[in-house]
Chains A and B, each alone.
Chain A
Amino acid sequence: MVNYIARRIFMMIPTLIVISIIVFTIIQLPPGDFLESYMAELQSQGESIDKQKIAYLRQEYGLDKSLLEQYWTWVTGLLEGDLGYSFEYNLPVNEVVGDRMYLTIMVSILTIIFTWVIAFPIGMYSATHQYSWGDYGLTLVGFIGLATPNFLLALVLLYLANVYFGTSIGGLMDEQYVNKPWTWEKFTSILEHLWIPVIVIGTSGTAGMIRRLRANLLDELNKPYVVTGRAKGLGEKKLLVKYPLRVSLNFFIADIGSMLPSIISGAEIVALVLSLPTTGPMLLGALQSQDMYLAGSFLMFLAVLTVVGVLVSDLALAALDPRIRLTGGATK
């Protein structure tokens, strides 16, 4: 097992190198560079462009160097914890991201909890009461959540919250608390705003979760060990929770790999529509304005989290599900 873990960790290095090359290529793919977008934007507002100044900036930011050199500077910087420089904000990327990270993690964790709290009972109920009215009804609700465009739901909820509760539109807190230290009022203001993104992002995830839990559980429910357990007089509730549910949670653990990055990235589109001070809109903005180091560092960070997450879920699976064993070794 130790061997396996060591090998997996070692394999992460080439994976990440390849990812870093891909990320760098992707952010270089659109024609032009940050200064080109910058010039176009200035010009659209009628501001004049000084070509010489642009040439100077290009040299100053190292955009005149070859791609290989640019890549090398970026990657070696990443290793030292320097995420590069954001052209758009004129600040080091580390500073730009700053507080947004906490708020993003907060939104995402609450969303995940929301999804679980809704999806688990429904999934279990649907599986144990297959083809009942309740099964159809709850599944329908789940699908509506999945099918409604998130941005639309977000706008509708924003409107309703503003009209009926007087919640200010957009953002995660009332404007007077921005840049202020944490207080009880600030906290309650956040709670007042938080439920909208949590519901919007959460509902889109519940349907998938319900269906997967239902399907997995149904597979298990008719297996002989369940029948045996029931025959031996095990209570229906205990029987369900102790064996089939545990086994059917396989997918759930395997999901951890993708959950880690989602904690950081949040749901970009919803965050953009709701104008949340999370990292999602920032990443999107960086990609649009070709703020390459900001975008690149974000993507790279997400990639690292995915790779680590996959490792964690593999290990957790091995520990939790006795049926999963390493192949190719001596184990049988």
Chain B
Amino acid sequence: MSINLNYLLIVLVMGGVVTQSIMADLPEEPLVTKMASDQAIGKPGGTLYTLMAKSKDIRMMTVFGYARLVGFTRNFELKPDILKDIIVEEDGRRFTLVIRKGHRWSDGQLFTAEDFRYYWEDIANNKKLSPFGPPPQLMVKGKPPTFTLIDEHTVRYQWDEPNPYFLPALAGARPLFIYAPAHYLKQFHASYTQAETLALLVEKYGKRNWAGLHHSRVRQYKLTNPKLPVLQPWVNTTKPPSERFVFKRNPHYHRVDEKGQQLPYIDQVVVNIVSSSLIPAKTRAGDATLQGRYIRLDNYTFLKAGEKKGNYKVFLWKNARGSQVALYPNLNATDPAWRKLMQSVNFRRALSLAINRHEINQVVYYGLAIEGGNTILPASPLYDEKYTKTWCQYNPKLANQLLDELGLTKRNNVGTRLLSDGRPMEIIVQSPGESTEQTDILELIRDHWQAIGIKLLTRPSQREVFRNRVFSGEALMAVWEGLDNALPTAEMNPKELAPSIQEQYQWSQWGKYYETGQGNPPTQPEILELVKLRREWMHAPTNQAKMDIWRQMLSIYSDQVYTIGTVTGILQPIVVSNNLMNVPKEGWYSWEPGAYFGVYRMDTFWLKNESGE
């Protein structure tokens, strides 16, 4: 597989288009951003205001800015971005990264292969800084890559086995940083700075040792250090803690528009920190130029009513979760009678069939949602309608029949079915108790399940307690969001569909087994099949093979109803000032993939009126 830069890079014709002053700041070969059909070439200047609830939310600027070594386009294809090119060879074993000549960090120093070497040798493989070695996305079967520095602008990573995690990790909303500003960081590193000088700095910043000092200086994702050089469109200039963070444009940013104007258009982004409950009100008062975070569908009518006065428009973007609210039957429950039932596929199917998703959609979401199981969304290239529909039609009669076939025929005097040991069938659904949405939906499901003789009780608790109850097997069922990534392409890891980590509430103990090797593996053939398919996906040679594996896994996952989805495709209001141009009217508001505004290239947004008023 090779990603050809020509798709993206229209070679810039220098003559007269680019002015001399801009040239001094740009890389020799800048990335020319072609505007999408609903976007226009803009003009630079102005201030964009946005609201966040916590001071650590400024990390969202790394997400929104979305300058990555390789990044997803709007259609979720991977393309080089900061890199001039990336050459993938030997079936995904060898990656050659080509850096743009003359590309500079925000402080004006050159960005070169040295910055990759510094990360690899002095951070990832330094015992003090990374006691556990390089990050897991860089390890294949526990083995790190061979890193080769070819010349000033070229580096290579080579693995013995294919590494399909590598590119998606670089393109992530929270990206894997495999480079760091060496020229800046060396002053905090024991290999480059004398012990006495370092000791003074450690003392000055109140750290325990130089490793702590280095960590606190290098937060490329969290942006808490205003002195840290970055490659993102905007650079933080405010030292936390603060109620107001000012991000100034990066004068050495590598993207230009087709007219040769350097991006980002907007001069500065001001992030004001206010309590989350006030964000909808402040947005309505016109205090945000662009706002998506901390507003929800419930706020839609409120915000819509203020459009005129606040001089903004509310767009409805789509949310990319497998299911807005999903039920997770605990296949690892400690109670033997219940565990047997939860592991029985017909029991799970009956529970799913008994839910009236149409009613949920009408009552809670004004009928705007998609009804179906917890699976991927129609916008994914892997989508098939059967994943959404399988065992999701409302059919209490069939559900009752399935339960009867399982031998659950006895009922008590109020009509609740009895377990084989005579206990009434009461399922306690554990919830983290944070969202009224979940409780509302559970209320509806309680009535639906009453009709098939199963009693549903809800127990809200605190998030940590909730997790521990599920992990220990004490919980019979949990309520949580559906799949995180419901817009996958074949290149993305299908880890969510097979036991892989402990944080999978339907089989957390099996997940833990595959994550850490502790505990017992599953024995069910379908689950073993999922595990096997996921392994095969890693070594699948072609995109087509990966796609086939995804489809098989999705089929098994929805046929086996490991999680019970309700509705999905919930809309996310996005408030956009009338002065802000180039924000698409329709879009996906999703963390992974997409990085919220990231794939829509926030650096191409511009203000009609420069003052930003």
Give A contacts to B, CB under 8 Å: 30-32, 36-37, 40, 43-53, 55-56, 60, 88-92, 95-96, 98, 158-159, 162, 168-171, 175, 178-179, 272-275, 277, 281, 285
Contact = CB atoms under 8 A, between A and B. Distances in A.
A170 B281 CA distance: 9
Given A31-B468, A40-B467, A275-B275, A178 B243 contact: yes
A281 B277 CA distance: 13
B278 A170 contact: yes
B281 A96 contact: no
B483 to A, nearest CB: 10
B144 interface: no
A293 to B, nearest CB: 13
Given A89-B55, A92-B206, A179 B464 contact: no
Interface string B249-287: 000000000000000000000101011011001100101
Contacts of B173: 46-47
A88 B56 contact: yes
Contact of B503 (A37, A43, A169): A43
A189 to B, nearest CB: 13
B135 interface: yes
Nearest to B135: A50
B591 A46 contact: yes
A275 B274 contact: yes
A40 B275 contact: no
A96 B244 contact: no
Nearest to B592: A46
Contact of A170 (B222, B275, B463, B468): B275
4 closest A-B pairs by CB: A178-B244, A52-B132, A275-B275, A32-B464
A281 B240 contact: no
A109 to B, nearest CB: 21
A90 B216 contact: yes
A180 to B, nearest CB: 9
Contact of B285 (A52, A96, A168): A168
B138 to A, nearest CB: 12
A60 B208 CA distance: 9
A175 B465 contact: no
B238 interface: yes
28 contacts: A30-B462, A31-B465, A40-B464, A44-B463, A46-B173, A46-B484, A46-B485, A46-B591, A48-B174, A52-B131, A52-B132, A88-B56, A89-B240, A90-B216, A91-B240, A91-B241, A92-B206, A168-B287, A169-B274, A169-B278, A169-B281, A169-B287, A175-B244, A178-B243, A178-B272, A273-B275, A274-B275, A274-B278
Contacts of A272: 275, 277
Contacts of B503: 43, 49
Contact of B272 (A91, A175, A273): A175
B136 interface: yes
A158 B275 CA distance: 14
B206 A170 contact: no
B464 A50 contact: no
B289 interface: no
Given A46-B484, A273-B278, 15 more contacts: A31-B462, A32-B468, A36-B464, A40-B463, A51-B516, A55-B132, A56-B132, A90-B224, A91-B240, A162-B281, A162-B285, A169-B278, A169-B281, A273-B275, A275-B278
B242 interface: yes
A103 to B, nearest CB: 10
Contacts of A36: 464
B489 to A, nearest CB: 17
A56 B131 contact: yes
B212 interface: yes
A169 B285 contact: yes
Contacts of B240: 89-91
Nearest to A169: B282
Interface in B329-359: none
Contacts of B464: 30-32, 36-37, 40
A30 B49 CA distance: 37
B175 to A, nearest CB: 11
A183 B241 CA distance: 21
A121 B216 CA distance: 56
A273 B275 CA distance: 7
B467 to A, nearest CB: 6
Interface of B: 49, 54-56, 131-132, 135-136, 173-174, 206, 208, 212, 216, 222, 224, 238, 240-244, 270, 272, 274-275, 277-278, 281-282, 285, 287, 462-465, 467-468, 481, 484-485, 503, 515-516, 591-592
A16 B136 CA distance: 47
Contacts of A30: 462, 464
A47 B174 contact: yes
B275 A281 contact: yes
Contacts of A60: 208, 212
Contacts of B592: 46
B484 to A, nearest CB: 4
B286 to A, nearest CB: 10
A169 B310 CA distance: 13
Contacts of A162: 281, 285
Nearest to B133: A52
Nearest to A159: B281
B241 A95 contact: yes
B321 to A, nearest CB: 9
B463 A37 contact: yes
A178 B463 contact: no
A238 B30 CA distance: 85
A45 B242 contact: no
B454 to A, nearest CB: 28
Contacts of B287: 168-169, 175
A30 to B, nearest CB: 7
A262 B212 CA distance: 36
Q: Interface centre among A46, A91, A159, by most B CB within 10 Å?
A: A46
Contacts of B485: 46
Nearest to B590: A46
Residue from the set B131, B212, B224 with the largest chain A CB neighbour count within 10 Å: B131
Contacts of B131: 52, 56
Contacts of A47: 173-174, 591
A92 B224 CA distance: 14
Contact of A171 (B54, B241, B242, B243): B243
A162 B238 CA distance: 28
Given A37-B463, A46-B591, A170 B242 contact: no
Contacts of B465: 31
Contacts of A169: 274, 278, 281-282, 285, 287
A56 B206 CA distance: 19
A171 B485 CA distance: 36
B239 to A, nearest CB: 9
A92 B275 CA distance: 23
Contacts of B285: 162, 168-169
Interface centre among B272, B285, B287 (most CB of A within 10 A): B285
A82 to B, nearest CB: 9
A126 B55 CA distance: 48
A137 to B, nearest CB: 34
A92 B216 CA distance: 12
Contacts of B244: 175, 178-179
Contact of B136 (A32, A40, A50, A90): A50
B238 A179 contact: yes
